[in-house]
Structure 1
Amino acid sequence: MSQKLRLGVIGAGLKAAEYAESWARMPEIEFVALADTSETSRKRLIDVCTAAGAPEPKGFADYRDLLTKCRDELDIIYVSTPHASHAEQATAVAEAGLDLFLEKPMVTTVAEAERLIAAQKKSGVTIVTAFQGGLSPLVLDTRKRALSGEFGELIAISGMIWESWSSNYEGHWKQRPEISGGGFMFDTGAHMMNTVCLLANSDFDSVSAYMNNHGKKVDIATAVSARLKNGALVTLTAAGEGPPGCASYITFFYSKAIVRIDAWGGWREISVGRTSEPREEAEILGNPMKNFLAIRAGTMENSGSVEMGLRFARLWDAIKESAAADGTPVRIAG
C-alpha cells in the first residue's frame, strides 16, 4: 500500500494548476483524481501532473462521480471552485469522510457554515480553509502573543484593502453574484476579514455597513463600522477600483502595543511604548499544502477551522444585511 496521501481535486482551474506544479512533486502526495466541468481545465491539470513525473490522475466532469467512484482511493480533497459552490461540495466531501483543504472563503452564508460544521462533527474529518494570512507565520505569531496577553487589551482595529479589481476581473465569474457570493469585499477583501476575525479573538456583536457597486452587479467599495463582543471597535474599508496593484494595511490597537500587519501576513510592524521594532517580512505562502499536512498531523494550529469560518460567515452576513438596509446596524446572535 502506498504511504503517500492520496489527493483528489475538485475544481481544476488556474489556482489548482498553479499549486499542482509543486504538489505533484511532493513526496507526501499522490494525485489520484480530479473533477471539473471544463474539459480544457481537466486536461491542463492532468498535463501539469504528468509533466512533473506523476501518474495521470483520473478525470471527471462531475465531482459527485469522483466522490462515488474514487472514495476508497482517496485520503484528502482540495476544493478550488467558485465561491457559491463551496458549501455543497465541502459538505459532500465531509460526509464522504475525507479530509478537506478548501479554498477561501469557506462558504457564503451562516446557514451553509452551520451545515458544514454539522457534517464535520459527524464524520470527524479535518477541514482547513486556505487563507494565506491564516497560515502565515507572522499572523500566527501575532495571534499567539496577543492571546498570551503580551500586547494587553484589544482596544480597536482599523483595516483597509484595495485593488484594481473592478477592471482586472471585468467579465470574470468573480463579478457574477450568483456564483461569486459577493464582490470585492468577499473576494480579495475576504483576506482582510479573515485576518481580523482570527486576530480579534472575539466574535462580532454589531455591524453597520455601506456598499457601492459603481455600476457593477457586485460590490466594488465597502465601508464597515463594528463592535466586537469583547468591546473593541472595528473599521474596515475595501476599495475595489484604483491604480494598478493590490495592498492592505490592518492596525490592531492594544493597551500596551500597536501591531500593523497586512492581510496575507507578508509583513508586520510592532510598536511598544515609544519604541518601534523594524518591519518583519515573510514570503506569502506559495505551497500551503505543507501547512495543511501539518495541521492534519496535529503539529500546527488549525487557524482555518470551520469554527473560524463560522465567525467569518456571521460577519459577512451582517455586512450584507446592513448594507441592504442603508447602514442600519445589525446585531449578531450566537
Structure 2
Amino acid sequence: MAEVRFIMIGVGGMGREHIRRLLEVPEAAIAALADPSSAAVDEVKKRFPGLADVPVYTDYREAIAQVEADAAVIVSPHSMHYEQGIACMDAGLHVLMEKPFVAGSRNAEQIIAHAEQMNKHLAVAYQRHLLGPYMYIRSLIQSGELGEIRYICAYQAQSWLKGTTGTWRQNPELSCGGQLNDSGSHLLDVVLWATGLEPESVSAFIDNRGSQVDIDSAVTVRFRGGAIATFNVVGSASIGWHEDVSIHGDKGTVLYRNGKLFVAREGERVPAEVPDDELPAASDPNRDFVDLILGRVQQAAAPSSCGLTIARLTEAAWQSAANGSQPIRLS
C-alpha cells in the first residue's frame, strides 16, 4: 500500500485538526467527508481548498458503503463512537478514534474484541503520547532514573464550562460525561501511560456547577505497589488553559509546568529545566496511525487498551462521587 485513504467522520473543530495533520502526511489522502452539518463541511472546504472535490456525505454509513478507503477517523460526539467504529471495521476500515474512545468500559471491551476479530487497527488520538515533554517523562521513569514512583499530582484548569455552554459536550446523551471525560481524559491517560502504574482504588469529589455533566473533579487514585496520585480537573476556571504534572520517585522528581519540563535526579535538591533540544522529536496520532497501517510501527502510540483503562478509571471516579466519595476498587 503506497497511500492510506481516509474517511473523515465528523469535520467540526477537532475534525479539521485531524484533516490538517493528515494533509501533512505524504502517504495519506482524504477520500470523503461525512458530517450532517453543512456549515462544518463548508468550513473544511474553505480552509482546505485542495479538498474542494472530495465527496461529502451527511450519513457516514453511505460514505463507508460507497467510497474506496482504508481507514476512518472518528471525531463525532462521544456517544456515537462505538456504533460508528463497529460499522467502519465491518466495512474493512482501520479506525483512529478521538478520545475518550467509546462510551463506557463495557463498550470499550466489546469494540476492542471486535477489532481483534476483524484484524483491524484501532487506536485512540491521545496526542500526549507523541509530545516531547511527556515522552521524556516516560523515558525517565522507564530507565529507573526516578526510582520507585511514590506520588503524583496532576492538575488541569480550563474555562470548559463557559466554552462548551450550549454545545453537545454538556449534553450527557451525546458527550457521555463532562470535563473529566473530555479534556481531563488526556490528563488521566498521560499519567498512567508515562508511569506504567495500575490503578487499584479510586475516590472522588465532583461538582457539576449547575451543568448536566461533571465540571470540577478532585480524584485520588491508589496504585498497585502503593503509589498515590491526585488528579485535579477544573472545568470552571476563568483561564483558557493550564496543565501541570508533578511526579515524585524515591530517587528523583520531574515537574511539567504548562509546557516546560524540570528534573531533579538523585542527589539534586533543585530541579533544573530540560532544554527543548534535549526532548524527543514530536509527532501526532494521525502520522503515527498512517505508519501503523503501513507497517512502519508495530503498535499505535495510544492503542485502544489505553481507552479502556481510562474508561474504567473514569467510571470508578463517577461511582465514588455518587456514593459519598467512598473508595471504589478496580479489579
Distance 2:216 2:250 in 1: 31
**Which residue of structure 2 lines up, in the alignment, with residue 15 of structure 1?**
14
1:69 aligned residue: 66
Change (3 A) 1:160 1:21: closer
2:288/2:301 contact within 8 Å kept: no
Q: What residue is the counterpart of 1:40 in the other structure?
A: 39
Q: Whole-Å Cα distance in 2 between the matches of residues 283 and 42 of structure 1?
A: 35
CA distance in 1, matches of 2:180, 2:86: 24
Which one of 113, 116, 123 corresponds to residue 111 of structure 2? Answer: 116
Q: Which of 225, 240, 245 does residue 245 from structure 1 map onto?
A: 240
Moved more, 97-106 or 208-217: 97-106
Contact 2:130 2:283 in 1 (8 A): no
Q: TM-score, normalised by structure 1?
A: 0.89
CA contact (8 A) 1:82 1:179 kept: yes
Residue identity matched to 2:313: L
CA deviation vs aligned residue, 1:217-268 (integer Å, no higher than 9, x gap): 11111111111123211111111112222111111111111112268xx432
Matched, 1:271 2:264: yes
Computed over aligned residues only, the root mean square deviation of the Cα atoms, in angstroms, reads 2.3
One-letter identity of the residue aligned with 1:27 = P
Instruction: Give the secondary structure class of the aligned counterpart of 1:86.
Output: helix
Moved more, 173-182 or 127-136: 127-136
Distance 2:183 2:281 in 1: 15
2:197 aligned with 1:199:
no
The match for 2:130 among 130, 135, 142 is 135
Structure 1 pair 170/234, CA: closer, same or farther in 2 (3 Å)? Answer: same
- Greater Cα shift, 140-149 or 30-39: 140-149
Percent identity over the alignment? 29
In structure 2, how many angstroms separate the alpha carbons of the residues matched to 1:200 and 1:248? 17
The corresponding residue for 1:328 is: 326
**1:315 Cα offset (Å):** 0.3
List gaps (5 residues or longer) in structure 1: none
Aligned-partner Cα distance in 2 for 1:94–1:184:
29
Question: Distance in 2 between the 1:208 and 1:184 partners?
Answer: 17
Report how far residue 85 of structure 1 moved.
Answer: 1.4
Contact 1:183/1:218 (<8 A) preserved: yes
Q: Which residue of 2 aligns with 1:312?
A: 310
CA contact (8 A) 2:99 2:307 kept: no
How much does 1:95 deviate?
3.1
In structure 2, relative to structure 1, the CA distance for the partners of 1:22 and 1:149 (3 Å cut) is: closer
**1:37 alignment partner, SS class:** coil
Question: Secondary structure, in 3 states, of the residue corresponding to 2:181?
Answer: coil
Provide, for residues 275-319 of structure 1, a one-character-per-residue CA deviation record: whole Å limited to 9, x for no partner.
523244579978542232234434375331111111111101101
Once structures 1 and 2 are overlaid, which stretch shifts more, 303-312 or 23-32?
A: 23-32
Match of 1:149 in 2: 144
Distance 1:285 1:77, change over 3 A: farther
Question: One-letter code of the match for 1:307?
Answer: S
Q: Is the 8 A contact 1:19 1:287 kept in 2?
A: no
SS in 2 for 1:156: strand
Indicate if the aligned counterparts of 1:134 and 1:194 stay in contact, CA closer than 8 A.
no
C-alpha distance in 1 between matches for 2:126 and 2:105: 18
Instruction: Please name the residue that 1:31 is paired with.
Output: 30
Identify if the C-alpha distance between structure 1 residues 165 and 214 changes in structure 2 by more than 3 Å, giving closer, same or farther. same
Deviations 1:89-111 (A, max 9, x none): 12222333322221111123110
For residues 285 and 172 of structure 1, the distance between their equivalents in structure 2, rounded to whole angstroms, comes to 31
279 and 144 in structure 1: CA distance in 2 versus 1, 3 angstrom threshold: closer
Could you say what secondary structure the match of 2:180 adopts?
coil
TM-score relative to the length of structure 2: 0.90
1:185 alignment partner, SS class:
helix
Instruction: After superposition, give the CA deviation of every residue in 1:58-116 in whole Å (9 maximum; x if it has no partner).
Output: 2111112222222xx11111111111212221222233332222111112311011011
Q: Helix, strand or coil for the counterpart of 2:225?
A: coil
Question: In structure 1, how many angstroms separate the alpha carbons of the residues matched to 2:260 and 2:37?
Answer: 37
Paired letter, 1:194: D
Which residue of structure 2 aligns with residue 303 of structure 1? 301
| Aligned equivalent of 1:57 | 54
Aligned length: 326
Q: Give the Cα separation in 1 of the matches to 2:17 and 2:240.
A: 20
Equivalent residue letter for 2:36: T
CA offset digits 1:139-174 (Å, max 9, x no partner): 223223322323211111111111111112211211
